[in-house]
Every structure is written in C-alpha cells, then in structure tokens.
Amino acid sequence: MEALKQRICREGKILPGNIIKVDGFLNHCVDTRFMGELAEEFARHFDVSKVTKILTAEASGIALAAVCSYKYGIPMVFAKKAKSDNIEGGLYKSEVMSYTYKKKVTLICAKDWITSDDKVLIIDDFMARGEAMHGLLDIVKQAGAELVGIGIAVEKGFQGGGDTLRSEGHDLYSLAIIDEADPETGFRFREV
C-alpha cells in the first residue's frame, strides 16, 4: 500500500537492533483516520462479509483492529496478556515469546467470545518473527473457528515470520513489507 510505505519513509525511525518505530501514527500516537484507509485496503483483499470476528492481541493491535471492526460492523476480540482477576475460567491460552518485552507472555481469550461458529480475521499492527501471531492462530485453532486470513499493517520481512506463515498456506496480507531497514540508506520494501 503506497500511502503506508510513504508514511513509513517520512515518519519511521530505524533504531539499533533492527527496531523500527512508527509510533507517531500506528502504535502509540495513532492516526485513526489513516487506520480507516488501512481497513479499506484490507477489505479489498479479504471478503469481510463472511467474517464474524476480528481478532487481535493487546495492546498495540487494538487501535487498528477496532477501526477495522467499526468500519466492517463486525465485533472485535482482543487476546489479553497474562491473567487478570477479571477473567474467570473458560479460557483459551497460548504461551508466546515477546521480543518487544524480552519475556514469555501467555495470550488468553475467554471461550465465550470465539467459538467454532466463528470465521475469524486476524488483524495486527506489526509482525516480525510472528510469535504473537502463532499465539493468535493457536487460539483460533483451540476454538475450532475458521480462519479467514491475517491482515498486518507493517511486516518486517527480514525477520521471516511472514514467510513462515505464507509457507504454511495462510492468507497473509501485509500492507507494507520491509525487507531492509538501514539507518544509513533507509527503508527498502518488498515488491509484491
């Protein structure tokens, strides 16, 4: 998606350790109107008319997923990290490694909100190694729900998570795939 690539080039920062920051419009300060444009682009690729739930993981995926959910008129579920007292029994759980926080976290989702009747579109803001995504896929599988596809705003192509998912046969649609992020030469995007 050209508008997203341009925005990444204009506002994105490349930090040591291959960290890419786009937190001025995507995942700290969020330009929700722009998220609406991303939502429209996802809807060109996926048949959202058959989707019954949008699924994401807290916290940074929620804003984009909420705008998609609002525009499509489909409820959104966000998997939570770790256990709070507000969630009683009946949970799907999946342990994932978070490279952002450098520790294992357990993604949880109440069984009430994703069932075998659901057709799920997973939406997330970012994907690198795809660890959190495998947790979400695990939840969809535990629920016996149907996966419609996976929509990602920014994929760090050079970290391989997306290619693994594609090789597994998933319909993964990333709006921008960054194949190289060099503090000197900037961003290089994959041609798709």
Choose one: 41-49, 102-110, 130-138, 168-176; the region binding a copy of itself (CB under 8 A): 102-110
Residues whose CB falls within 8 Å of the CB of residue 121, separated by 6 or more in sequence, listed in order = 42, 46, 48, 51, 53, 54, 55, 68, 74, 148, 149, 150, 151
Choose one: 19-27, 135-143, 162-170, 177-185; the region binding a copy of itself (CB under 8 A): 19-27
Alpha-carbon span 12 to 21, nearest angstrom: 6
8-state DSSP, 44:
H
Q: Which lies closer to a copy of itself via its Cβ, residue 9 or residue 87?
A: 87
Q: By CB under 8 A, is residue 132 in contact with a copy of itself?
A: no
Element (H, E) at 76: strand 76-81
Element (H, E) at 146: strand 146-156
Q: By CB under 8 A, is residue 11 in contact with a copy of itself?
A: no
Q: Which two tokens stand for residue 88?
A: 């009683």
Minimum CB–partner distance for residue 31 and a copy of itself (Å): 6
Residues that bind a copy of itself (CB under 8 A): 15, 17, 19, 21, 23-25, 28-33, 35-36, 53, 58-59, 62-63, 65-67, 69-70, 73, 75-78, 80-82, 84-88, 100-102, 109-110, 112-113
